[in-house]
Amino acid sequence: MAEASGPAGDKPSEAESESESKPELASEQIGRMLEEMHLRLCPGLKETEKEAPKQVLGTIDVQGLAKFIKEGKAKNIVTMAGAGISTAAGIPDFRSPGTGLYDNLGEYNLPDPMAIFAIDFFQEEPAPFFKISKALLPDKFKPTYTHYMLRLLHDKGLLKRHYTQNIDMLEDKAGLPEEKVIYAHGNFKTGHCLACRRQYDFEWMRELVLADKIPKCEQANCGATVKPDIVFFGESLPARFANNVEPDFSSADLLLIFGTSLVVMPFAALVDKVKDEVPRAYFNRELGEGAVSDWLALLTGIKTGLQCNAEDNYRDVFVKGDCDAGCLKLAELLGWKAELEALYKEGHAEEEKPGASGDAQKTDAKSAS
Ligand code: OAD
């Protein structure tokens, strides 16, 4: 950015003085300036722009997507997910009007809804976060069809990596091995004392949270709050995220994105990390912010985010609706529907067995009534 702007106090250049006297040239100059800015920000683009982007999908729809996978052209699939993949499990997302978490925090008296996940606020007032955590503890919920679709991709040897913003660990419950999942916003598996960094496990935190207590460090002379290893606003993403993004995305041959508004950075920007010809499919109820080509793209030619509604879209498939329905449709087109349904059925039966974590849902529901 520093390179793009001249030092303060520079005299107007010849071109600038000219534009003052010949206003009809202003738009041409603005165009050149934007092109210049575009090249400075994205130095590799000049060469690639010369070639027309390659369309590798026969048709830009779920049928085209299924054909691409069926023909064996997707062997290194990277998937991305947000809260929308877990709403069918009973966990609210963040931003859906009315039902999203941020619309339902009135009782917490927060300076703004996102403060509940802001590190500065948590350090001062951890109680609201732990109160909401009690309702959202990960052992209460069962994976959805979308989680089992991820599992199926893994079982078939097609999943390169799954990147999730979710902290509910339903990917884990659906049977995705740990090395296949990047918990970009952390999870509840462990926690650390904010002061001495002593580590605590989920079970220890869970007991306290269920008893409406704030987990406090048990180390002698400490007693500071213990925070689950969830990435709060104001904190860095885990090193595993940073270490894997480049190799995973640069070698991906298909990107599948499920149930996220694509508004939180740096996660949302991952969609731009795959190669230009790599198809991207977005399973969501509506086109999130990052999936709409905006005025800046029209003006500057710098296209970031998905281009589902752009006239020259050549690779971004929008599978509108609930992502479970989208996954079942895709599975059907792939001839995998029976396998997906069986995984879901077996997984849920396992969760319902006495002593399984899903059993906590029934116990808690009983004690709440
Ligand atoms: P959002 O609530 O921002 O977006 C969820 C998206 O999923 C919305 O576009 C919904 O319309 C869509 N959706 C909901 N249910 C769906 C379903 N069953 N099928 C298909 N689409 C569905 O949640 P995220 O994008 O995950 O970060 O939010 C990103 C981050 O913002 C979270 O990780 C969290 C939050 O602040 C932190 O707390 C650090």
Q: Which of 85, 86, 96, 105 for mutating ligand 1's site (highest number of atoms within 8 Å of CB)?
A: 96
Confidence (pTM): 0.84
Nearest CA to 37 out of 303, 272, 273, 300 is that of 300
CA dihedral 60, 65, 69, 70 (to 10 degrees): -100
Highest-confidence range of 82-86, 167-171, 350-354, by mean pLDDT? 82-86
Q: Which residues contact 30 (CB under 8 A, 6 or more apart)?
A: none
Ligand 1 pocket residue status of 100, Cβ below 6 Å: yes
| Amino acid making up residue 312 | D
Handedness of CA 215, 218, 224, 227 (dihedral sign): negative
Predicted local distance difference test score (pLDDT) of residue 204: 96
Q: Residue 207: in which H helix or E strand, if any?
A: helix 202-210
Q: Which residues contact 318 (CB under 8 A, 6 or more apart)?
A: 281, 282, 284, 287, 291, 306, 308, 309
Q: Which residue is catalytic, options 154, 185, 192, 348?
A: 185
Is position 185 annotated as part of the catalytic site?
yes
Nearest CA to 118 out of 285, 207, 232 is that of 232
Q: How many other CB atoms are there within 10 angstroms of residue 266's CB atom?
A: 12
- Residue closest via CA to ligand 1's atom 5 equals 260
**pLDDT of 10 strictly over 50:** no
Ligand 1 pocket residue status of 146, Cβ below 6 Å: no
Instruction: Quick: pLDDT tens for 287-337.
Output: 977 776 666 666 777 778 999 988 889 999 999 999 999 999 999 999 999
**pLDDT of 362 strictly over 80:** no
